[in-house]
A and B are shown apart, each in its own frame.
Chain A
Amino acid sequence: MSHLSVLELDFDEVKDALLTYLQAQTEFLDYDFTGSALNTIIDLLAYFIHYAGVQANFALRESFLESAQLRKNVATIAKELGYFPAQAKSAKTNFKLTLDLTGQSSPPTTITVPRGTVFVSKLENGSTITFVTFDDNPLVDEGVAAGNPATKILSGTVFIAQGTISNKFFIVNDFDQRFILDQPNIDTDFLSVSIRPNEASLDVTAWEHAKKITTVGPSTEAFFISEYGDSIEIYFGNNSIGKALNIGNFIDVEYIVTQGSQGNGLSQFELSQNIATYARNLFTISNVEKTGEGADRESLDSIRFIAPLSYQRQNRIVTIDDYKSAVLENFSNVRAINAWGGEDADPPEFGKVFVSVAPVVGDKVSPTTKKSIERDILSRFNVVGITPQIVDPEYLTINLITTAFYRKDKTILKPSQIASLAQGAIEDYFLSSVFDYKQSFKYSKLLTAVDAVHSSIINSLTDVTISKSFIVTSNVSATYTIKFLNALKEQTIQSNIWLNTGSNNQQIKSSATINGNIGQLDLYINDTLTKTNVGTVDHTTGLVTLTGFNPNALTLGQIITFTAEPAIPDVSIQRNNLARLGTNVVTMEATER
């Protein structure tokens, strides 16, 4: 059998094939299978064959990772590959919580914000979202000098995670019993399991989540988890790998059910309950970090992509794909990721591997997270002697000023409505095709997207410029390099304008090409050339170098932005560069033809 002859799944063709077969049988040569009674029977049989065929087809296709459609089956196949799909992760943050007990008689010197204390925030759509403390957090006396009335302020850092705490109990009554939590979006990082010998017992033992089977011995009190449908199943050892449960044991499972990525990016919180005997309005929240790290359950496409790579990785990190898949497998907050060996860096840095992670929320991951990825994920499993390094993404802003020519007689929409549609199409194009590492901005694809927005659009043109920002230090002379990594048109580069101490406008522009593809950068004050040769721009590589650059009285958060026209309207993206949409202006121009 050289290939599987896939069953025809169109009913009419199923029936025709059946008829053809029956009519060819010598025993039924004189039968008219299209007669009313026999036709009904043939219809019935054809439906049966049709259903059976569909069933067989589905059964086969659900057997393989690339064709399975049901989450349960995809997760099961991934399980065979030793891959546990990433579950929903709670958004997290911390802040300072202060309790002002000034003037109260005999105030305590410390109180505890207990595990499960609820804080709330609001989403953009106005709905409320819940956060909880997942540990006890102490507030302690700040030691402010006593005044009159007596000053007493307690404060401390409180850590919260988005979601609600849930419990589920099981009593072991069968060795084949399954322990399924029956709730979606469980953050397994906060899943705890306590075991009692029986329901009445007060002897509670906390069992650990076994993440590596190699660390689990016959007596290790550990539990394992796997995905089960939309939820999570926990299971236990067999006294060989992990300690086994006994009949009658009482299992108490506690976990956080989260809304995943919805909880990201929030910084306004309210305490929604009293703590101990203190009313919630006595507490104030300050020093809030924006919430982050919230993630939804891994998508089917992601599982299909990462599970084979995870199997290939075998808990080792050797190739570039290993670095990427290891981060994706262990760190959910990834919008885009790229990795490259030091041999491909510019300049080369042999013995290093660079990984750039663009988070779902924010422009870059925090230094703590970067260290955690380097130390806890990459360095644990990578090749000895190779140093992994997480680098921040650098954003190359692509600015577009588009003119769309349209036929008035072909539409009843206002030009502004069509322009709005075109802007949306441009944003969609960026989201789907540009905002990822190694993706490139393609001019023709963009115009195709714009032209397809509405039938009245005849054609369109777009002016493309690219911008890159960098942070400078005022009143310090230093050398700065900015890499556009794209060829630039000569004498098109210029910086934004900033004010110096004398409130004069300062700007850097390229006004001359001095040596081949090298352009000279000059400093202008109030649009007058004041100092020449403050730097150079390599028009071929897009490398801008400012030598001995010493800006003063720089405003706008110490950031300077250079903008230039690319030599060709296509923009390529390399290494840790990511493209994002900047200016997006669409002007409609009516035309007769």
Chain B
Amino acid sequence: MVFLEHKPIHLLVKRMFPRFVSENYSQMILFFEKILAYMEQEGQPYNSIAHLLEYNDVDSTTEHFNAAFKNQYLQNFPDSLTADIDLIIKNIRSFYLSRGTEESYRFLFSALFNAIVNFKYPKFNILKCSDGLWFTPQYIVLTDAVNNIPPQLSGGSNYNIAGLIDKFITGTTSGAVAFVDNEITLSAQGLTYGGSGAVKAISIVEKEGLFIPGEQILIGDTLIDNGDFSAGTNNWSIFPALDSGIFTINNQLVLKQALGNIKNKYIYQSIAIEEDTQYWLRYSMIEADSPETKITVGYNPGTNEIYDSGNLGTTSVLQTVLLNATSIGKSAFYVSIFNQMPDANDSVTYDGISLIKEDTSNTPLLFVANIAAESGILSGISQWKDVRGFLSEGDKINDKEIVLQDNFFYQDFSYELKSTISSNVFDSIIKDLLHPAGMKMFSQLLATDELTFFSLRESSYTDLVFANTNPDTITRITSGIPFNILFRKGDIITINTSSITNEGEGQYLVDNVTATVITLAANENLVIADLTGIIVQISSSLGIIDLFGTDAQIVYDYTRQLDFDFNSTQEFYPNTEIDYIMKLGFGKTWSDAESSREQNEIIINDWSSIVIGDFETFATSRFGFIDSAELIIS
């Protein structure tokens, strides 16, 4: 604790008395000085009062008051929290404000356990029959309100409307608001707008309200004008009405009946042909409100000397016909779409019309023709977005990560914490401090770089079978590489040495001395060092002891196996060097595990009999209480 500097008051006593008193009664002065000096000692009143402010300051208080601060500011934190309590208290408000977020979990795991935590949300793995978003894109053609010229791809009013992207626009009359997410190109052959060729339009999303043709457009509170895109100050508005024209969107042709009388008109495209040649005409109508549209092919616009489809109806049509263009002297014919839809706002959508010369493999010609359109506000073809489950390539129904909802783990209100800390340790703490009530919390234990793992394939062991009660003897005959013995509970080892050094983690280094008895707990690992002629007597209550090492005439390889081929689910921490991952669980013996290794699962039912090189000590102590563990080996 750092105290502020306090001046001792006993030094002031002499000054407080008249000079004659201090000179004539020096013992009295001394007496008072001693009394005050006594009160200035630690724990005495003056000392305590002088340090009141420090005691009330979390930075300078004593351990005695840490509990009071903790109860005041960190009530649901565990009592074991001692480290940096002042630091945590000073910053705890931001933690409380972020409770329930991943950030808050990470902070808590770091502060309490010095561990990291990762998250899994099972809801993202649930297969849903219709999880895609069905939406209808909309496009707006803007125009210079004075010249009534939409921005063109080239020539004419070649305005750069890309400046509108990522901005919200507002209609001045309608108050409709939309976000401009892109710039698109609309084919506009025959479009009556004072120019020629394709025009640029904006695609909008997150629309609220209905824009009105002809209304001006705001960004924020400012009218946009052509000065925003190039020189000029004419305000821009939504293209008021396209009295003739058609747009193709996503290679689909949308004919939309206008409010005006455009019935019994047709759009057409002239196609250059060769004499005595056959052509394949292919057209596909997706949907129609009214049956009265049809395709004709003739030598003049709107005629049907070569082909007449008749009215196509309202259901989808896909037709391929072979046309004979045999007439001498004809160099072109016309493919026309008749618009005979009777009602305003009727529409029909063609998924393209193509014409291919019979004996060639020319790229189909997308047919775009002239027809009236309602206005500069266009709806695109409805489509799926953000598909999941059935519709996208990456999330098919047989994807092993996609499962049916089970109302337990795989449901909308569950999450899983993955950490190197057992849930027994953090469960109640998390629930008191962070866990959003109403959700189901799961946990998975991860082991990380603390784990030392050795080759399973190259390690070997030998079972030495003993009588249950009688000791047996292993005589060490070679020196050099130590060997390991795995013991079970109740095993007793007698070694003719008297100097044994505990090397930690259950390892005992036996030196060259006389007999000693060691009783090891289950799974403790005995490593006998380079000592020729050592005699180890072992008695086992279970009758079996696993021996590793040179005495079993098997060279134990401590080299880490790098080409271990597990096809496991990989869960990596940031900045962690991962060699491979292995899942463990209960249910099988070690030999089962050895044989099932390629199945990426080692299931062990009796931890006391696990023999995996040096791995068993760790495994027993860390995973003896859990159903399964995912080990990240580094």
* A positions within 8 Å CB-CB of B: 1-7, 18, 21-22, 25, 27-28, 45, 49, 52-53, 55-57, 59-60, 63-67, 77, 81, 308-309, 311-314, 316, 318-323, 339-343, 348, 350-353, 383, 385-387
Contacts and interface: CB of A to CB of B under 8 A. Distances in A.
Contacts of A66: 68, 71-72
A28 B31 contact: yes
A4 B43 contact: yes
A312 B64 contact: no
B73 A308 contact: yes
Contacts of A352: 438
A59 B64 contact: no
B93 A7 contact: no
B49 A56 contact: yes
Given A308-B73, A319-B431, A350-B413, 14 more contacts: A7-B43, A7-B45, A63-B55, A64-B65, A64-B69, A308-B71, A314-B97, A316-B96, A318-B437, A319-B432, A321-B76, A352-B438, A383-B436, A385-B413
A313 B96 contact: yes
A5 B75 contact: no
Pairs A-B, 6 closest by C-beta atoms:
A5-B43, A52-B45, A350-B413, A64-B68, A341-B437, A56-B48
Given A5-B42, A22-B34, A309 B55 contact: no
Contact of A351 (B44, B96, B438): B438
B46 A52 contact: yes
Interface residues of B, number: 52
A343 B431 CA distance: 12
Contacts of A28: 31, 34
Interface in B389-444: 407-408, 411-414, 431-441
27 contacts: A1-B62, A2-B62, A4-B48, A4-B55, A6-B43, A7-B45, A22-B35, A27-B27, A28-B31, A59-B49, A59-B52, A63-B56, A64-B69, A65-B68, A308-B71, A312-B75, A314-B93, A314-B99, A316-B99, A316-B100, A318-B99, A318-B100, A318-B437, A343-B441, A350-B413, A350-B414, A351-B438
Given A312-B96, A321-B432, A2 B45 contact: no
Nearest to B99: A318
B27 A343 contact: no
Nearest to A80: B72
Nearest to A352: B438
B42 A1 contact: yes
Nearest to B53: A63
Contacts of A385: 413
B44 A350 contact: no
A350 B52 contact: no
Contacts of A313: 96
B68 A3 contact: no
Nearest to B62: A4
A323 B46 contact: no
Nearest to B54: A1
B55 A60 contact: yes
Contacts of B434: 318-319
Nearest to B69: A64
A3 B72 contact: no
A27 B49 contact: no
Contacts of B99: 314, 316, 318-319
B1 interface: yes
A278 to B, nearest CB: 55
Contacts of A339: 437
Contacts of B44: 7, 49, 53
Contacts of A323: 437
Nearest to B55: A60
A386 B438 contact: yes
B30 interface: yes
A388 to B, nearest CB: 8
A3 B431 CA distance: 32
